[in-house]
Structure formats: structure tokens, C-alpha cells
Structure 1
Amino acid sequence: MTTRLAFISDIHGNEEALKAVLEDISKRSIDFQHVYALGDIVGYGPKPNEAIALLQRHGIRSVLGNYDEAVGFFLPTCGCHITSKEDQARVQNALNWTARYTTESNKAFLRELEEQIILEIEGWRILLNHASPFSINDYVYEKDEEKQEEIALEIEEDMIVHGHTHYPYYKQVKGKWFINPGSVGRPKDGDPRACYCIVGLEQQPTVEFVRVLYDVEKVAKEIEASELLDVFAQILRQGKDIK
């Protein structure tokens, strides 16, 4: 029987989206020991503590994301590549609010997250990290062939699964498989549904991206009722960044 793994990423404090995804995974008879999170559990969303609690309750391993790092280690910035003053203000609002409302025990949990996880399953060696093996803030989009070739030549594993961009894709470069499951809690590709992926470990991996409906409006209103910027609610409603 083919082993199936589920990968989730970029939850960003969106408890409702995460609950819906975990329920969907359970319905597909995937054991939670085969579910892995790729970081950015917190940031932007109104329920950082609840999102962490859900992962803990189900025993789901996660790597460290850049927002997790900033909140857990009391950093002044998330390290994102920001050019405009508007984007900088948004990031600082999300980071400051999340750092204020995340409990000390959950900050300690974030500090304990691994930067990378290496899996060896069914003859496959799989590298999990948040952004790239080179940096926790390195954006690797589907079109970034040159960067993917550099990574492929550097890593020993057969497959790399990463998040950070919030855009789902999979492709093979230089004999290595690159998979990004998209974002559970803050999609950017115009589809507001939560996104994750299921990978079947066959001779060639099968990759299925799954979109899950959840109560986006409930989360948007929770954001608007908080000190988080209202634009974060609009981003959820539209499923993409708003400039």
C-alpha cells in the first residue's frame, strides 16, 4: 500500500482554516503521524495560540518559519524582503500583535521547532524546511529554475518540501522533486480556500493539491475586531495580497 503524506504550511494564526484542513485529512484516512507542517504557524491571523494547540493536540511535527522565529525569539522583524513603507507597516503590525498575544509557553514551543526535518520513508529521502535550505526567508517560486537548480545540486535528498511563498506547485529539477503545498491560512493565488497537499510515495511521487472550504468571514471579522490591520481581513476574503 502506498504511503501517503500530508503537508501543510503557512497557517498564520488561522485556527478555522487549520481545523478544516485537519478534518479533511482525517476523512482521507491519513494518519496524523504522516502530517507535517512547514512553518509560519503564527503571524497575521487572530488565533496564534489556538493554531499551536491544534498542532500539539494532533502530534504534528513542524519546522520553524520566519514568523515563528521572530515571535519565539523576540526578534524586531520577521526578516522578510520588504521594499515599501506600507508593507513594512503591515508586517510590523502583524508581528507586534502576534508577539503580544502569543503566550510565553507557546513562544518557548516555537523556539524548540527544528529548522529542517529529514524523512526517510519507502526509499525516499525528503527534506522539509520553511523556505529553502539556504535561508528561512528565501522565496522559491515555481518559475525560479536557476535557484531550484542550485538547491538540487546542493541537497542529497530526493525531494524538498517547502512553504513561505503561499503558492502551491510541484516540479522536478535536476532529478529532485520540489513541492510547495501552498498556504492553509493565508493563500495568495486568488483562491480563499485553505490549501494543502497529499503526496503518495510511489516510483514517481503523486501530488494532489486539496482546497478546503472554511468560514473565511468569521476569521475576517475576528481580525477586524482586533488591533490587527483590517487589510488582513480583506486579504483572506480575496485569497490574495492587496497592494
Structure 2
Amino acid sequence: MEWRRDSEVALVHAVPGDTWKGVMPDAPEEELRGFYGPLGAGLAVYCHIHRPYIRRLPTLTVANAGSVGLPYDGDAGSSYLIIEDGEPSVRRVEYDLDRHLADLKASGYPTARWLAEQARTARGGFPKLD
């Protein structure tokens, strides 16, 4: 699904037309308007960068829901976005990170070490592995 829109909320993975474009929380207002304004909704929600935030512009609110399993904002807790009465809010949920890391190690999954380092640091990118 490229994007979903109703009269108030538009949902996209990254930006319309580009699944991999990463728009950061501190992007200039013009960039946010350029990507999400044409969707025609008052609230545009995306997730690609795994960093939860809400930016309110005069006629548009842009929100990122973050990530349940691979947050990239330094907080290892899961995040998600709730929209109540048209107002978005980010929620965080703590979980047993040590158990998650042990489960990853025991899983035999090919990229388990990488995923564990991502979960531990909550920073994204490519961690240095010995």
C-alpha cells in the first residue's frame, strides 16, 4: 500500500512515491509541507525513520509513530501513535530488553547479532560488531 487517506488522516510508510526517503524530525517546514501537504489531510503519519515525534505546522501536523521493535531515537522502549479525537500522541511501552536480547541470541536468526545491537542501543545505523 503506497498510502491511505481519509478526510483527516493520511498514512504513508515514508513519503508518497518513495518508500525509502527518510524525513527527519528536524526537517525544514517547507520539506514537510512539500512531501505531506499534497496528501490533503490535516494529519500525515509515517514510520520509516523509527523515531517518534509530532510536528505541528499552521495547517498540517506531521507525526512519526516510531517503532515497536527497532526504535532509533535512543529509547529502547517500543513506541506507537494513538489518534484520539483527531489529536496524535506518542505512547511508549517498556519491555524486558534482556529477555528479548537472550531470545534473539538463541534464535539462530542470521542477523540476530545485528538486531540485538540495534535493540540494545536504539540508535539505528550499522553497529560495529566484533
TM-score (norm 2): 0.81
SS in 1 for 2:91: strand
2:10 pairs with 127, 130, 140, which one?
127
| Structure 2, unaligned runs of 5 or more | none
Greater RCO (Cα-Cα under 8 Å, separation 6 or more): 1
Q: Deviations over 1:19-52 (max 9, x none)?
A: xxxxxxxxxxxxxxxxxxxxxxxxxxxxxxxxxx
For the residues of structure 1 that align with 2:62 and 2:10, how far apart are their CA atoms?
10
Structure 1 residues 154 and 195: CA distance shift in structure 2, 3 A: same
Structure 1 residues 194 and 118: CA distance shift in structure 2, 3 A: same
Q: Deviations over 1:156-182 (max 9, x none)?
A: 122111001011111123511101111
The equivalent residue for 1:147 is: 31
Structure 1 residues 133 and 184: CA distance shift in structure 2, 3 A: same
The equivalent residue for 2:5 is: 118
Identity, in percent, stands at 25
Q: Which runs of 4+ in 1 moved over 4 A?
A: none
What amino acid sits opposite 1:217 in the alignment?
A: D
For the residues of structure 1 that align with 2:58 and 2:22, how far apart are their CA atoms?
19
What amino acid sits opposite 1:187 in the alignment?
A: P
Q: CA deviation at 1:152?
A: 4.1
| Structure 1, unaligned runs of 5 or more | 1-113
Aligned length: 123
What amino acid sits opposite 1:133 in the alignment?
A: P
SS in 1 for 2:79: strand
Q: Please tell me whether the aligned partners of residues 49 and 66 of structure 2 are also in contact (alpha carbons under 8 angstroms).
A: yes
CA-based RMSD of the aligned residues comes to 1.9
What amino acid sits opposite 1:162 in the alignment?
A: Y
SS in 1 for 2:50: coil
Query: Map of 1:1-243 to 2, 5 A cutoff?
Result: 114-120=1-7, 125-145=8-28, 146-173=30-57, 175-202=59-86, 205=87, 207-225=88-106, 226=108, 227-241=110-124, 242-243=127-128
Q: Please tell me whether the aligned partners of residues 148 and 173 of structure 1 are also in contact (alpha carbons under 8 angstroms).
A: no
TM-score (norm 1): 0.46
What amino acid sits opposite 1:164 in the alignment?
A: H
Q: Deviations over 1:96-120 (max 9, x none)?
A: xxxxxxxxxxxxxxxxxx2212234
Q: Which deviates more, 139-148 or 178-187?
A: 139-148
Q: CA deviation at 1:216?
A: 2.0
Structure 1 residues 134 and 115: CA distance shift in structure 2, 3 A: closer
SS in 2 for 1:220: helix
More helix by percentage: 1
Q: Please tell me whether the aligned partners of residues 46 and 63 of structure 2 are also in contact (alpha carbons under 8 angstroms).
A: yes
